[in-house]
Amino acid sequence: MFDDNLMSQDNLIKLECAVCKRVNYFSKKNKKTLKNRLELKKFCLHCKKHT
């Protein structure tokens, strides 16, 4: 009945590129333990850089 691959909307965050500001990835964040901003280096397909 329920799909295990679906994430709840309250834990789902968008990761955007620091250079071109496009949303490239989605990730999970525990909002109870992490109060500050989350920064991860990921590859942007649009500007072809790790930001």
Q: pLDDT of 1-33, one tens digit each?
A: 556 666 556 688 899 999 999 998 998 888 788
Is residue 43 situated within a structural domain? yes
Q: Are strands 43-44 and 23-28 parallel, antiparallel or unpaired?
A: unpaired
Is residue 4 situated within a structural domain? no
Separate counts of helices (H) and strands (E) for the chain:
0, 4
Number of domain units in the chain: 1
Is residue 3 situated within a structural domain? no
Give residue 20's domain range.
12-50
Q: What is the pTM of this model?
A: 0.64
Q: What's the confidence (pLDDT) of residue 3?
A: 61
Is residue 39 situated within a structural domain? yes
pLDDT over 80 (residue 44): yes
Is residue 18 situated within a structural domain? yes
Is residue 25 situated within a structural domain? yes
**What is d(CA 7, CA 18) in angstroms, rounded to the nearest whole number?**
25
Structure confidence at residue 34 as a pLDDT band (50, 70, 90): confident
